[in-house]
Structure 1
Amino acid sequence: MRREGELPSALSELTTGLLDQIAKLRTVLSKETREFVEFVEETVIQLGWENGRMAYRAYATTKTLLIGIGRFLKSVALKLKNEAGNSPVGFTGGAIGIGLALASGAGSLQGLSIDPAVLETARQFSIFFQQNANAIVAFAAGSQELRLWLQHILEMVEADGGE
């Protein structure tokens, strides 16, 4: 992702925009995580993207958060697949959708050991991925492995339908 020792300036807006959107997930992020994300975002704005160390830290933080959210969504999909008896191909085809429908009151959580708060977190993270899909794909464009991973997560949440 580095070009001649620097991150491309085109990533600046994508990175700070995604950090801003992640920080807005107030009900699902811990106070410490939210404060850290806000600190990194504010520091990049104050020091400028040209400060290579800060730019790289902001990029790495954003990348780590996106991967973590993706892993969380996959784990919820697997748990729902196993508990709800859904048999999606891969991890798509409704595993998260079933859980989100249950979390929104469209069905019963009876018999599932998944905490409703976990389902609400998955719902908010799914919405985040859907609403920021273009920025996420553009952010990951420079790394084939990251792009493929995030596209897989985007396909998974898109298969479950949008809000």
Structure 2
Amino acid sequence: MDTITKEQRSRNMAAIHSVNTIPEIYLRKLLFSKGYRYSINFKKLPGHPDIYLRKYNTAVFIHGCFWHRHEGCKYSSTPKSKVEYWNKKFEMNINRDRVVKEELKNANVKCLVIWECSIKKMRKNPEFCSEILSVITEFFKSQNLYMEL
């Protein structure tokens, strides 16, 4: 059973954003400071990537560990109430992610998925941040079509 009122739950859920999240803004500022230019929520590609770098033909998605079910991550817990509802919702998200990934691959667009937990770790640890940034930079220039961080 839920421990807060229906109105409080509604306010909590309304406060969750799907665009311009803290991890997205952090990564955008980091990329911009390194000289990368991009489009935000690019509507012309499947899945409307959070960031699209036209020069590198790369779609970047910043996935929330909870919503996109990052396997083995402490942030991807399952709520104890309305389990059937949540499992259905999570399954729909996973299927949509799979379809978007396949559509981007078929369109020959590179796809980079960065998990929320990686962004959190980047924000706390400057060495990890520069390491991940190097990996991202290499991916932009590589021929690989898909990578997750």
TM over 0.5: no
Larger fraction in strand: 2
TM-score, scaled relative to structure 2? 0.28
Larger fraction in helix: 1
